[in-house]
């Protein structure tokens, strides 16, 4: 079971606590195109993606902007909506049939508050996300589109899963620009 492995590797929980934690998750499935979260909802869960990719997108002026891709083996959470209790600006959609485990945030956070190991895990989780986000920001601040494209592919090979249009969104450029960038390299 991937969730079990994930938590075993990432936390220092003993087997009892680990099993207890895992048992609090519910296994679910989603067909291609269905949503883990839809714009306007208030997020109240964490999801562990076991299998299949999702993409997060943002809608502005009736246009979809894909902002990120969620890969199997990741603990996914729309923390802004969850923490501020505001409707989320994002939709998280299954790009293919997915298997995931879900846990309500109150349940997870109750467990977290009772376990130093789990708290440490959460700190690391958000630290790591923050580091990745800051590296991305710097890519926008200091690189042109071509260089950013190379950076993204090198560090996130998963991006190959996206359509040209979606990948261009993530790079902050148009699909025609990305197509031309590809041609020249």
Partner DNA sequence: AATGTTTTTTGCCAAATGTCAAATTCAGAA
Partner DNA sequence: TTCTGAATTTGACATTTGGCAAAAAACATT
Give contact residues for its own copies (rule: CB under 8 A).
58, 60, 65, 67, 79-80, 83, 112-113, 116, 119-120, 122-124, 126-131, 133-138, 140-142, 169-172
* Strand locations in 82-145 (E): 90-94, 98-104
Q: Which stretch binds DNA (CB under 7 A): 5-13, 49-57, 117-125, 163-171?
A: 163-171
Our finding on whether 163 is near DNA (CB under 7 A) is yes
Rounded distance, CA 28 to CA 30, Å? 7
For its own copies, which is the closer residue by CB, 1 or 86? 86
Neighbours of 48 (CB within 10 A): 22
Q: Using alpha carbons, select from 42, 118, 26 the residue that is nearest to residue 83.
A: 42
Q: Which residues touch 148 (CB under 8 Å, ≥6 apart)? A: 139, 140, 171, 172
If one asks whether residue 164 binds DNA (CB under 7 A), the answer comes out as yes
Residue 126: phi, psi to the nearest 5? -75, -30
Q: Binding DNA by CB under 7 A: which of 14, 32, 110, 176?
A: 176
Q: Does 41 bind DNA (CB under 7 A)?
A: no
60 binds DNA (CB under 7 A): no
Q: Which is nearer to DNA, 122 or 159 (CB)?
A: 159
| 138 binds DNA, rule: CB under 7 A | no
3's tokens: 């969730």
H/E segment holding residue 15: helix 15-24
For DNA, the closer of residues 85 and 142 by Cβ is: 142
Contacting residues toward DNA, per CB under 7 A: 144-146, 163-165, 172-183
């Amino acid at each position: 079971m991937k969730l079990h492995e994930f938590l075993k590797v990432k936390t220092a929980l003993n087997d009892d606590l680990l099993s207890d934690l895992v048992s609090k998750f519910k296994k679910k499935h989603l067909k291609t195109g269905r949503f883990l979260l839809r714009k306007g909802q208030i997020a109240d869960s964490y999801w562990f993606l076991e299998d299949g990719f999702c993409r997060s997108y943002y809608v502005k002026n009736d246009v979809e902007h894909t902002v990120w891709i969620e890969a199997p083996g990741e603990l996914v959470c729309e923390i802004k909506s969850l923490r501020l209790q505001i409707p989320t600006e994002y939709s998280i959609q299954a790009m293919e049939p997915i298997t995931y485990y879900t846990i309500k945030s109150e349940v997870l956070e109750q467990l977290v508050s009772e376990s130093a190991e789990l708290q440490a895990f959460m700190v690391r989780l958000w630290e790591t996300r923050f580091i990745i986000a800051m590296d991305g920001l710097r890519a926008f601040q200091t690189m042109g589109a071509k260089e950013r494209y190379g950076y993204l592919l090198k560090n996130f090979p998963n991006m190959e899963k996206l359509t040209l249009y979606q990948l261009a969104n993530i790079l902050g450029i148009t699909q025609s620009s990305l197509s031309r960038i590809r041609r020249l390299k």
